[in-house]
């Protein structure tokens, strides 16, 4: 066995969710199942009757589904990107949170990509994208980038999971076959450990540009058109920043829930929330800065078409979603995150819930108001989603949470071996590293050269 039992006893809390299943779990699954059922009925209805059962129309031909697509793909930046950055910067406090983040990415990417399938008028012709794929279309860039990200993220989640699966294989006593297969003969030898560390490092480097590319090309779906308030060069970085922003918020919410339900207060300490809270505060400011730059340039340019969209958000029919977005994405996080000295967990969670909601509204405010303001004098009916879109959205959230909950039941949501590594190797490593930062205090070399001349 790779790790002695005594050290494993110390981390017994990390096995608890897998070893024991309480009534709360089944209740959660039942509630999520209902949401998913609602979504399934909604999609079945839409599949049979066509997109006519939604609130979509002419000219608002994109609505909730495209909003959800951008939103969920944005949330996916929680994981892999944040985890990779923390790993590469050797932030020691990352250890209990990296896996939690990576799981969000993998699960939510399925949901995000699924939104496009739901949005298609002809899902039966999906494979035309491969058969007749037209690479000049930003939609193809999306398909490429997202599938690359999904593949890389799955590897990036799986690699650091291998030693933990081996621990489960040796210790848990149930699902032995599953864990034996997935552990791929891991013994924890120095050679294996070396290869694994290198593989993780390579994936961490690889995954960052892919993640950036994903939300850049998602933004290109809008900015490559010539529509007012879409055709903007800031959209790439704006979407990436917004994605990381909503991703961190989703991660904090997930951490708080897992911590509460599985009593992992010893592992997910206020300090982790405080550090992530600071990161969220930085992203709040960055998001506000980009939003400010985007709207101010639009306002000063004063192009008539641009201004129609601008005013429809500021004072027109979209004012509730626009101002709610500003409040949730800027005012609330600013108020709760500036001082995290005490009650860090509660404050960051409030700010994060606000940001998750606010970023959904932000995506909505990008997609719908532009389409609601056609250039030519068309009769415009206000877009309002039907039960089908609400159901699909509820089902999507439900499915995402269910996949997450199931992961927690099958695999350790906090990396056991990395926590142990932190205790054993990490402490020494940090001390040594810190020493290399400081000026050398070894015996000074005998003065020669210039020094001798001056004396």
Q: Which is nearer to another protein, 58 or 151 (CB)?
A: 58
Minimum gap (Å) between residue 294 Cβ and another protein = 19
Q: Is 251 in the site for another protein (CB under 8 A)?
A: no
Helix, strand or coil for residue 54?
A: coil
Among 29, 41, 85, 129, contact with another protein (rule: CB under 8 A): 129
* Contact code string over 141-170 relative to another protein, x by CB under 8 A: --x---------------------------
Tell me how far apart the 2 most distant CA atoms of the chain are, in Å: 95
Among 33, 59, 188, 385, contact with another protein (rule: CB under 8 A): 59
Alpha carbons 169 and 160: distance in angstroms, whole number = 15
The residue range among 94-102, 134-142, 271-279, 410-418 that interacts with another protein, by the rule CB under 8 A, is 134-142
Q: What angle do CA 378, 312, 120 make, to 5 degrees?
A: 60
Taking the CA of residue 364 as centre, how many other CA atoms within 13 Å lie in the half-sphere pointing to its CB?
21
Name the residue among 286, 208, 206 with its Cα closest to residue 242: 286
Q: Which is nearer to another protein, 370 or 415 (CB)?
A: 370
Alpha carbons 374 and 80: distance in angstroms, whole number = 38
Q: Is 134 in the site for another protein (CB under 8 A)?
A: yes
User: Is residue 208 classed exposed, middle or buried when 0-12, 13-18 and 19+ CB atoms within 10 A define those classes?
Assistant: middle
Alpha helices in 262-375 (DSSP H): 270-301, 304-314, 319-326, 332-337, 344-371
Name the residue among 287, 273, 410, 289 with its Cα closest to residue 348: 273
Write out the two tokens for 352.
């994060």
Among 119, 306, 362, 418, contact with another protein (rule: CB under 8 A): 119
Q: Is 22 in the site for another protein (CB under 8 A)?
A: no
User: Is residue 428 classed exposed, middle or buried when 0-12, 13-18 and 19+ CB atoms within 10 A define those classes?
Assistant: exposed
Q: Is 133 in the site for another protein (CB under 8 A)?
A: yes
Question: Which 348-377 positions form the footprint of another protein (CB under 8 A)?
Answer: 371, 374-377
Among 128, 189, 197, 339, contact with another protein (rule: CB under 8 A): 128
User: Is residue 56 classed exposed, middle or buried when 0-12, 13-18 and 19+ CB atoms within 10 A define those classes?
Assistant: buried
Q: Is 30 in the site for another protein (CB under 8 A)?
A: no
* Contact code string over 380-409 relative to another protein, x by CB under 8 A: xx----------------------------
Q: Is 120 in the site for another protein (CB under 8 A)?
A: yes
The residue range among 201-209, 225-233, 242-250, 333-341 that interacts with another protein, by the rule CB under 8 A, is 225-233
**Site residues (CB under 8 A) for another protein?**
49-52, 55-62, 116, 119-122, 125-126, 128-129, 131-134, 136-140, 143, 221, 224-227, 371, 374-381
């Amino acid at each position: 066995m790779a790790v002695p039992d005594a050290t494993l006893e110390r981390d017994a809390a990390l096995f608890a969710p897998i070893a024991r299943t309480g009534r709360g779990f089944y209740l959660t699954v039942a509630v999520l199942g209902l949401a998913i059922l609602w979504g399934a009925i909604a999609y079945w209805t839409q599949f049979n009757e066509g997109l006519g059962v939604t609130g979509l129309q002419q000219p608002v031909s994109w609505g909730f589904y495209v909003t959800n697509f951008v939103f969920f793909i944005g949330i996916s930046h929680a994981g892999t990107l944040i985890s990779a950055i923390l790993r590469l910067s050797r932030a020691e406090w990352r250890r209990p949170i990296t896996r939690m983040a990576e799981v969000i990415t993998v699960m939510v990417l399925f949901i995000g990509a699924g939104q496009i399938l739901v949005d298609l008028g002809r899902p039966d012709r999906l494979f035309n994208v491969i058969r007749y794929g037209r690479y000049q279309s930003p939609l193809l860039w999306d398909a490429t980038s997202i599938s690359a990200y999904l593949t890389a993220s799955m590897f990036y989640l799986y690699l650091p999971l291998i030693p933990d699966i081996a621990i489960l294989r040796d210790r848990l006593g149930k699902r032995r076959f599953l864990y034996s297969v997935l552990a791929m003969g891991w013994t924890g030898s120095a050679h294996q450990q070396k290869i694994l560390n290198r593989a993780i490092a390579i994936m961490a480097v690889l995954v960052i540009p892919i993640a950036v590319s994903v939300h850049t090309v998602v933004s290109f779906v809008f900015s490559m058109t010539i529509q007012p308030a879409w055709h903007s060069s800031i959209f790439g970085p704006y979407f990436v920043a917004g994605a990381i922003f909503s991703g961190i918020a989703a991660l904090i919410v997930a951490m708080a829930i897992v911590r509460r339900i599985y009593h992992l207060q010893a592992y997910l300490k206020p300090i982790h929330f405080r550090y992530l809270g600071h990161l969220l505060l930085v992203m709040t400011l960055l998001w506000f800065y980009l939003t400010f730059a985007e709207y101010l340039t639009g306002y000063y340019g004063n192009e008539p078409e641009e201004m129609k969209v601008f005013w429809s958000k500021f004072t027109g029919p979209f004012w509730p979603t626009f101002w709610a977005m500003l409040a949730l994405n800027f005012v609330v996080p600013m108020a709760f995150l500036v001082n995290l000295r005490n009650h860090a967990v509660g404050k960051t969670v409030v700010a994060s819930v606000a940001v998750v909601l606010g970023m959904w509204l932000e995506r909505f405010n990008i997609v719908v108001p532009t389409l609601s303001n056609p250039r030519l004098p068309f009769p415009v009916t206000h877009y309002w989603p039907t039960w089908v879109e609400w159901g699909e959205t509820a089902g999507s959230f439900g499915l995402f949470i269910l996949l997450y909950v199931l992961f927690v039941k099958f695999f350790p949501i906090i990396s056991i071996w990395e926590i142990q590594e932190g205790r054993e190797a990490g402490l020494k490593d940090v001390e040594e590293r810190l020493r290399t930062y400081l000026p050398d205090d070894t015996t000074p070399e005998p003065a020669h050269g210039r020094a001798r001349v001056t004396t």
